[in-house]
Amino acid sequence: MHSGRAPRTPATLGDTGREVWRGVWAAGAGAFNPRTDRMVIQRYCELHDRRAELLAVIGQDGLMTTGSMGQAVMHPALRFVESTEKELRAIEAVLGLSLEARLRLGLAANELDKVTLADILGGGEDDEYDD
């Protein structure tokens, strides 16, 4: 178990990737080792940068574009967003970045006893519904 600080953010990462880098290392709370996990986490952050760039292009151009026959078609970059998101989900599972992945890896079992259904659903202090 690594208990030191997160490694220096790679200079190759963009704004989104840097933010994800800091978030992943913080969320790992010592579970990730810079020697063995750095490249996987860096790849994950690079994919987030790619996704952000693609979404920016789509945001600028719009979801629809004109096809070769003059018909309306979905922006071609959407295919790359989908494939990038598929890669992200695969890495998230490996790193245990979702509850399901952590359960599969056995990382969240001890924490589940401390969480109530009200916590999962957004808190129990809601007085909106009176019995």
pLDDT at residue 123 greater than cutoff 80: no
Mean pLDDT, range 77-98, rounded to an integer: 94
What percent of the chain clears pLDDT 70, i.e. is strictly above it?
78
Nearest to 44 by CA among 98, 103, 84: 84
Q: Give the per-residue pLDDT at 105.
A: 74
Give 37-99 as a DSSP string. Answer: HHHHHHHHHHHHHHHHHHHHHHHHH-SEEE-TTS-EEE-THHHHHHHHHHHHHHHHHHHT-SH
Q: Is a pLDDT exceeding 70 seen at residue 114?
A: no
In this prediction, residue 125 has a pLDDT band, given cuts at 50, 70 and 90, of: low
- Which helix H or strand E contains 118, and what residues bound it? helix 117-121
Give 99's pLDDT tier (boundaries 50, 70, 90). Answer: confident
pLDDT at 91: 96
Residue 51 has pLDDT above 90, yes or no: yes
CA dihedral 98, 101, 102, 103 (to 10 degrees): 120
Average pLDDT over the chain, rounded to an integer: 83
- Look at 97 and 55; give whichever has higher pLDDT: 55
**Paired tokens of 18:** 């840097």
Cβ(43)–Cβ(60) below 8 Å: no
pLDDT at residue 112 greater than cutoff 50: no
pTM above 0.85, yes or no: no
What residues contact residue 7 under an 8 Å CB cut-off, 6+ apart? 25, 34, 38
